[in-house]
Amino acid sequence: MSLARPFCCAVVVLSLVGTAAQGDPPTLSHTLPLAVPPGATTDLTLHGGALAGSTGIWTSFAANQSLTPDVAENGTQPAQVSYRLEVPAETPVGIAGLRVGTTEGISNLRLIMVDDLPSVAENNQNNSFEAAQTLASPIAVDGKIDPEQSDFYRIHATAGARITVEAVARRLGFALDPVVRLLDAQGRELVYADDDPSLGPDCRFAFDVPSEGDYTLEIRDIRYQGGDAHRYRLRIGNFPLVSTTFPLAARKGRESQLEAAGNSIAGMGPMTLALAADCSNAAVPMGVKLPDGAGSTAVTVASSDWDEFVETEPNDTVEAANVVALPGAINGRINSTRDRDRFTFHAAAGTRYTLRLQTRSLGSPADLSVRILNADGGTIAELENSGGGDRELEFQSPADGDYRLVVDELYRCAGPEFTYRVEVIPFEPGFTLTAEADKWDVPRGGVLVTKVISARKEYNGPITLSLEGLGEGVQLAANVIPEGQNETNLQITLPASIESGRFTPAKIVGRAELGGKALAVVAQTRPLLTAAFNGLAYPPAALNGVLGLGVGPVFPDFFKLTLDRESIAYPRLVGASTFTIKSERLNGFEEGIALSLEGLPPGVTADIKPLEKGQNEIAVSLTGPALLSDAPYPLQLVGQATFRNQPKRIVLADVPFKVVDPLQARGEQAAPLTAGASSPLKVQITRFGDAAPVRVSLANLPPGVTSSGEVTVAADQQEIELPLTAAAETAVGAFDGVALIAASEVKGQAVVTRTPITITIAAKTE
């Protein structure tokens, strides 16, 4: 199967089936290797659970993929499945996303690296200095740290060579907080590397080899923890320790000249990056490589809608401040501990701006302090981004004139990698959206419900939500966040026509009209990704807003309905009737069931209440006119319920509704009447309405057969016996013309019914 992926788009994966069985959706714990190379084909093994019946994988980069051939039982095992990926050569080095679909749904998102270093797996016998696994650089080794253990690797290096080492663990979403040590042949520590300010918990270093020989790398968790979630990719080669590009952003729709910012970058010249005009990602990955190096380093470049101004030093004084035109973005760096960057701009009175700081999200270790000063040096606005998170500040120029933007490093740290970007753009009211989940598993033709939350900024009107990319037939409900409210439970019903194995770009988009301008905002998922990837502060920007949707089997029935009788009887004169609805609950369903009765005759109403949680039957009362025609009235009993967000509507069609007499009698012989003997006729009385005495008699008895005459059935009785006697000469046979007569009063009116019965006479036995 070939999967093409646009460079800047969000993608929903549809893994669809139509079987009736319900199973667990797949889960992914890791892949081996942990990276795929650009311009090559790799057999990638996915590890996790419920992977049998895999229908395909999705990657956030372009790749051709198919099940790996010649792997025994590939695609049928629950714990793993292997895919062959062919990655285009132009794919940039960096961190990407991957999901797998099965016949039961879609997996959680896992991170995978695109890496131009070759891969090798840990041999699992390298937990001591003496047993170190031998590697040939350049290489990247994929391993796992066990509790209270270290992994050791040995490389041979020549004098004067530069070795660059990078541990990629948290950036792949794993729990490992790596520490890497470089040891000489005697086990003495030469380098100790822990958290890198640009990488977070991951670490890296460069080492100039003093003399030829063997060197050993030790990697462990800083807390000596371990397990299946403590995996890493240890990269060894000669690559730059780049933190960011400078400037930190590229303008959409044009080529931008960038330079590397960081350490070990000697010999690197300017780089060119061309972004599409319609690029929708806030930032894109880019690989940086030394001219004669081995392996690339991944950096993140912001995609910009503005001109990118780059500072010119010196600009530390008021007189030397760089003059900038707004709106736009300002790029600078803190070169020394005393560096203070100043910029001057002109603003008309009452102009409102939004100022956005960017450092850590783009790989810079800088924490900024930013102030807006008036011409007299007075502060009119200030902002700190302590902790490195992107922060926003809104300010309004109080008067027409020149203003100064002053940028400091909050903790007086400095260096070539301490770059920053300050975007200063016109203030606009609006909102942001956050999705409650980044994946769902939905039955075929089923319903998903997800909460979408808005954060408003001086806009209080309605926000209309859409799900873009799934094509025709998708139905939405509750897709408006009402005026003055901040959330809605968006309901999405999928068409049953969506076919298995379809991969479709999709996103939740909120739209509104603000001052005659249309605003479209994509619902973000970054907080969910951070939680899923062990606190990874800045997951790949291309994954923010990507929604995974797995469509599995048709949802099974979870309740059935029946009546306590074959037809519903409505008695004349009484104008009322009752019957019972019974439910059978299936598959653990206990919630309420809404009931309705459709097609009742004019004037007849039903007192029909829902079956409450756990309730299995309920009585229904009908009331209406005392007299109805005998025309047939086929009814429909409708039951509706929702289980795990899946609605179900069950219809009992053509339920007979019969207008009947308010008094009914039925007669049945206990045994044939023998000539010359006596035996009883059992009579059963059915009353509708108030109980009253019933007078019962027989007419048109066969010749020679007599009864006791009229008998009264008391109001609290439903059954009596009428004695029958046959003379000795009575003819033998079945006589159909006998009438059972019942008489009473209903609603003050006399009621008489005549029910034909059969009397059977048997011959006298000798």
User: What span, in angstroms and rounded, lies between the C-alpha atoms of 544 and 320?
Assistant: 40
Domain for residue 510, yes or no? no
Question: pLDDT digit string (tens) for 104-127?
Answer: 888 999 999 999 999 999 999 999
pLDDT number for residue 505: 63
221 and 246 in a single domain? The answer is: no
Last residue of a domain, one of 278, 304, 330: 304
The first and second tokens of residue 336, run together, are: 């020394």
Reference 357, options 281, 286, 409, 435; nearest CA is 409
What count of other Cβ atoms lies within 10 Å of the Cβ of residue 585? Answer: 18
> What is the average pLDDT across 463-483?
91
Element (H, E) at 666: strand 663-669
- Grade residue 1 by pLDDT with cuts at 50, 70 and 90: very low
pLDDT exceeds cutoff 70 at 357 = yes
**Predicted local confidence at residue 590, as pLDDT:** 94
CB-CB contact of 422 with 355 (8 Å): yes
Q: What is the mean pLDDT of residues 553-572?
A: 90
Q: What would the two tokens of residue 613 be? A: 């949680």
Q: Is there a single domain that holds both residue 666 and residue 654?
A: no
Question: Do 247 and 224 have their domain in common?
Answer: no
**What pTM was computed for the model?**
0.82
Beta-carbon contacts of residue 517 (< 8 Å; ≥ 6 apart):
none
- Do 651 and 667 have their domain in common? no
Would you call 449 helix, strand, or coil by DSSP? strand
Cβ atoms 340, 407 nearer than 8 A: yes
User: What confidence tier does 16 reach under pLDDT thresholds 50, 70, 90?
Assistant: very low
With H, G, I as helix, E, B as strand and everything else as coil, classify residue 596.
strand
The string over 639-661, giving b where at least 16 C-beta atoms fall within 10 Å of a residue's C-beta and e elsewhere, is bbbbbebbebebebeebebebbb
Q: Is 309 strand, coil or helix?
A: strand
Q: Which residue has the higher pLDDT, 544 or 498?
A: 544
Of 322, 551, 275, the residue nearest 422 (C-alpha): 322
**What would the pLDDT profile of 270-296 be if each residue is shown by its tens digit?**
999 999 999 888 899 999 999 888 999
User: Is residue 14 pLDDT above 70, yes or no?
Assistant: no
| Single residue among 631, 659, 687 that ends a domain in this structure | 659
Asked if 403 and 372 count as a contact pair (C-beta separation under 8 A), the reply is: yes
Residue 305 is encoded by which pair of tokens? 């809608």
pLDDT > 70? residue 580: yes
Identify which has the larger pLDDT, 679 or 497.
679
Which stretches of 469-544 are assigned E, i.e. beta strand? 475-477, 480-481, 487-493, 503-505, 507-514, 517-522
Burial class (CB in 10 A: 0-12, 13-18, 19+), 73: exposed
Beta bridge partners of 92: none
519 pLDDT more than 70: yes
Amino acid at 56: G
Listed in sequence order, the residues at least 6 apart from 197 whose beta carbon sits closer than 8 Å to its beta carbon are 365, 413, 417
Q: What is the pLDDT of residue 105?
A: 86
What single string gives the DSSP state of each residue in 272-300?
Answer: EEEB-TT---SEEEEEE--TT-BS-EEEE
Domain residue limits at 682: 662-762
Q: What angle do CA 315, 320, 326 make, to 5 degrees?
A: 75
Same domain as 369, residue 408: yes
| 421 and 367 in a common domain | yes
The count of other CB atoms within 10 Å of the CB of residue 427 is 15
Q: What is d(CA 490, CA 484) in angstroms, rounded to the nearest whole number?
A: 17
Residue 73 lies in a domain: no
| 589 and 691, same domain (yes or no) | no
CATH number of the domain enclosing 185? 2.60.120.380
Instruction: Give the mean pLDDT of the chain.
Output: 91
Structural domain includes residue 683: yes
3 inside domain: no
Domain assignment present for residue 529? The answer is no
Q: What is the mean pLDDT of residues 125-145?
A: 97
Residue 435 lies inside a defined structural domain of this protein: no
Please report, for residues 243, 329, 361, 513, 628, the alpha-carbon distance to residue 275 in angstroms, rounded to integers and kept in the order given: 20, 17, 19, 29, 77
pLDDT more than 90, % of the chain:
76
- Asked if residue 230 and residue 147 are part of one domain, the reply reads yes
Give the integer Cα–Cα distance in Å for 259 and 310. 12
- Considering the domain architecture, whether residues 123 and 221 belong to the same structural domain is answered as yes
In this prediction, residue 499 carries a pLDDT of 67
Mean pLDDT of the 504-515 span: 87
Provide the phi-psi class of 515: left if phi over 0, else alpha when psi is between -120 and 50, else beta. left
Predicted pLDDT at 15: 39
Q: Give how far Cα 99 sits from Cα of 36, 49, 233, 508, Å.
A: 15, 13, 20, 19
| 339: pLDDT strictly greater than 90 | yes
- What is the band of 12 on the pLDDT scale with cuts at 50, 70, 90? very low
Range 619-639 average pLDDT: 89
Asked whether 78 and 528 are in contact (CB, 8 A), the reply is: no
DSSP assignment string, 230-253:
-EEEEEEEB--EEEEEESSEEEBT
Taking the C-alpha atoms of residue 746 and residue 626, their distance in angstroms, rounded to an integer, is 11
CATH of the domain at 688: 2.60.40.10
Q: Is residue 165 part of a domain?
A: yes
Out of 304, 324, 348, a domain closes at: 304
Asked if pLDDT for residue 4 goes beyond 60, the answer is: no
Beta bridge partners, 481, equal 463
How much is the pLDDT for 766?
Answer: 62
How many domains does the structure of the chain reveal? 5
Q: Please report which confidence band the pLDDT of residue 531 belongs to, taking 50, 70 and 90 as the band edges.
A: very high
User: What is the Cα–Cα distance from 396 to 353, expressed in whole angstroms?
Assistant: 6
pLDDT digits (tens, 9 = 90+) for 164-192: 999 999 999 999 999 999 999 999 999 99
pLDDT at 504 over 70: no
Question: Could you tell me if residue 248 is inside a domain?
Answer: yes
pLDDT band at 634 (very low <50, low <70, confident <90, very high): confident
Task: State whether 126 and 234 are in the same domain.
Answer: yes
Judgement on whether residues 651 and 609 belong to the same structural domain of the protein: yes
Q: Do both 199 and 295 map to the same domain?
A: no
Classify strands 430-435 and 447-457 as parallel, antiparallel or unpaired.
Answer: antiparallel
Structure tokens at 48: 């996790």
Q: Which residue has the tokens 């912001």?
A: 302
